[in-house]
Amino acid sequence: MKKLILLFLVLAVAGGAIAHWYFSDRGRFTTAPEFTNLSRTVSGNDLISEHDPAATLRFDPAFRHIGGQKFILYGVADTEQHFFVETTSDNKLKSVYWIQYEAYLPGKTYTYNYDDSPLRAVLGDYQFYVDTDAVKFDPNRKRRQGSDGAMARQFLASKGYSLPHDFAYARLVYLTDESRQKELMIIFIGDLLPLGLSTAELEDMSTNSAVWRVIEQAHLDRIHDTLNVLAHSARN
């Protein structure tokens, strides 16, 4: 009897662990990426969207478009990503724009909320919620599959690129209407190596330190210098 009880307990614990993993792993609902029939188009260095928002993102000539993909994120959000990269002389990533258009599927009641983002930025006629950070990227670290970040890294890897080991990061999000169910997300990543700094060194400082404030501001300034968001009436 004791052995049966012990076996039951072991099976119950194992079953609970498997159920927790199964239901908490949202990435399993993400669909395989598609690379054709994308909703947004590219002309030169212009990324043109006719909806959500109807605006053109115009990138500096230092950046080139390497493609895009679409998928259903976590089974709940229609997602389209595009990537513009700036590379070094040996074709390593110096910086990258990861652009993501995302909208919850009809019938879903989820909403996006970035009210706790500490910063704001204005590009063209659009105000963005902004978060920044210094990130250490370990390509060997095991990460969950199926997240938008995993899909982005997978796409970059398919083009022969890996994120810099230490980089400055900025996420800008514009909610395209009052429903708060659609967003334009712009992520800008820049290698910290040319600055002679590592993430570990920055982690030893307060996030309010003078050094980080200078790096953060320079990173945000570069966005303003290399990206214009144009209403279609002003596209030309």
List pLDDT tens digits, range 151-205.
999 999 999 999 999 999 999 999 999 999 999 999 999 999 988 877 877 776 5
Predicted TM-score (pTM) of this structure: 0.87
Percent of the chain with pLDDT over 90: 74
User: Which range has the worst mean pLDDT, 6-10, 134-138, 185-189?
Assistant: 6-10
Determine the Cα–Cα distance for residues 217 and 64; give it in Å rounded to an integer.
24
State the residue for tokens 């074709």.
91
As beta bridge partners, residue 183 has: 102, 175
* Predicted pLDDT at 143: 77
- For 152-190, b/e burial (b = at least 16 CB within 10 A) is bbebbeeeebebbebbbbbbbbbbbeeeebbbbbbbbbb
Domain ranges of the chain: 1-28, 31-234
* pLDDT surpassing 50 at residue 10: no
Q: What is the rounded average pLDDT of the residues 60-89? A: 98
Which pLDDT does position 98 carry in this prediction?
Answer: 98
